[in-house]
Amino acid sequence: MKFGVLVFPGSNCDHDAYWVLSTVAQQPVTFLWHESHDLENCDAIVVPGGFAYGDYLRTGAIARFSPIMEAVRKFAASGGLVIGICNGFQILCESGLLPGALMRNVTLKYVCKPVHVRVENVDTPFTNTCRQGDVLRIPIGHMEGNYFCDQQTLETLHRDRRVVFRYCTSEGEIAPQSNPNGSLDNIAGISNKGGNVLGMMPHPERASEPQLGGTDGLKIFQSMVAAAVAVSST
């Protein structure tokens, strides 16, 4: 399975994702420059964290117009796997690949710490190695992680099981004190209608090796590999 990691001016988690995919998950991976239209026959795309184009205007607002995102939109429309992490989640929302928006944290402060998220749907290409209700410990690092959408969209997300991760306590309880940024309904990650696009604020690439304090994040990438293997064997 070949992964492509997008690189925008200001990206700062692209090399982290590349390292985990190539060295830990041991998968072929390449960088994809923002000015390119070519996804180089990749099977999955990672839109990494960072500060694409300096996060001027709004987070992700400029990145959505980059040539590479035009290719990513077509790729996603054809069923290709796309994961947006942190700033990548913001870019996917700005690009119309996911509904809603990421606003300033309710505290108006940058938050950087490990959090717990509960797996709400294991029937996705990103969570198939997890069990329903699993609690994962994964770091966050963002200023605009406060997910918001209108009530109709929220109802649709829940009805279609598109809320994939929610902030929780270490015991798996969904509670106000476990919400680090004010996100609506403790939402930490959602998918598109087709289930092939995921956006999540926590950084799985920062929780994929024991040296970093845990490997819960590796399950996300392992799930993507397993999903691709399942498709190729059918």
DSSP letters spanning 14-51: HHHHHHIIIIIS---EEEEETT----TT-SEEEE--B-
Q: Is beta strand 81-85 parallel, antiparallel or unpaired with respect to 197-200? A: parallel
In the set 34, 116, 142, 203, the catalytic residue is 203
Q: How far apart are CA 91 and CA 50, in angstroms?
A: 11
Active site residue 86: yes
Residue 35's contacts (CB-CB under 8 Å, 6 or more residues apart) are: 66, 67, 68
Active-site entry in 94, 120, 144, 205: 205
Q: Of these residues, 13, 42, 86, 168, which one is catalytic?
A: 86
d(CA 102, CA 91): 10
Question: Catalytic residues, which ones?
Answer: 86, 203, 205
